Amino acid sequence: MSKTNPVIGYYHSWESIIGYRKLHGVKHFGYYPKGKEHISKAEAQLLMSERLAKALALPTGRLVLDAGCGEGGVALYLA
């Protein structure tokens, strides 16, 4: 892990690299609401996408740029 920037260090760690492959390109941490701290990573990622969609409240046909965000799983969810 990088001593100067722990976030960059994590993204270059074996844990992150292997996890990225297992999660099929999804590399965000998800949302773990109170009372659901032990849900799966996949469920937490879905909850995060749902939460983002609700917060953005984008009207149909709106354009969104998903830059540097893996394989675009969240963008596909928003679409």
Coil vs helix vs strand at 65? coil
- The whole-model pTM stands at 0.60
Question: What pLDDT, on the 0 to 100 scale, is given for residue 19?
Answer: 67
- Count of beta carbons in the 10 Å neighbourhood of residue 22: 9
- In terms of Cα–Cα distance, which of 6, 58, 5, 3 is closest to 74? 58
Question: What pLDDT, on the 0 to 100 scale, is given for residue 51?
Answer: 92
What would the pLDDT profile of 21-79 be if each residue is shown by its tens digit? Answer: 666 555 567 888 899 888 888 888 899 999 999 999 999 888 888 776 667 788 888 88
